[in-house]
C-alpha cells in the first residue's frame, strides 16, 4: 500500500497512520505462517516447481486441504 493510500485508509477509519500501524497491522508471525503455509501447500500439491525463483507472496496453491 502506498503511503498516501495508508493515510486515506486511516482517515476513513477515524484515526491516524501511527494508530493504524500499532493496532491493525498483522504481526510478523502471522505473515510468516501464511507465506510458509502457502509454500507447503504448493509442495504438497505438486506445484512448487512452478514458483521457482518467485516471491512467497506470489504462491497461490491449487486445491483444498
Q: How far apart are CA 61 and CA 24, in angstroms?
A: 26
Give the structural domain span for 44. 3-58
Task: Please report whether residue 37 resides in a domain.
Answer: yes
Domain count, the chain: 1
Q: What is the DSSP letter of 13?
A: T
pLDDT attached to residue 63: 59
- Within a domain: 63: no
| Residue 64 pLDDT exceeds 60 | no
pLDDT of residue 23: 78
Neighbours of 15 (CB within 10 A): 14
Smallest Cα–Cα separation from 36: which of 24, 28, 11, 10? 28
In a domain, 65, yes or no: no
Q: Which residue has the higher pLDDT, 63 or 21?
A: 21
Give the DSSP H/E element, type plus range, for residue 18: helix 17-23
5-45 pLDDT tens trace: 888 988 898 888 888 778 777 677 888 888 899 889 888 88
- For residue 24, tell me if it sits in a domain: yes
Greater model confidence, 20 or 58: 58
Place of cell 500439491: 45
Amino acid at each position: 500500500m502506498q503511503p498516501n493510500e495508508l493515510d486515506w485508509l486511516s482517515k476513513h477509519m477515524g484515526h491516524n497512520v501511527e494508530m493504524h500501524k500499532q493496532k491493525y497491522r498483522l504481526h510478523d508471525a502471522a505473515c510468516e505462517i501464511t507465506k510458509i503455509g502457502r509454500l507447503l501447500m504448493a509442495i504438497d500439491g505438486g506445484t512448487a516447481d512452478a514458483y521457482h525463483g518467485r516471491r512467497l507472496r506470489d504462491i497461490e496453491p491449487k486445491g483444498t486441504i
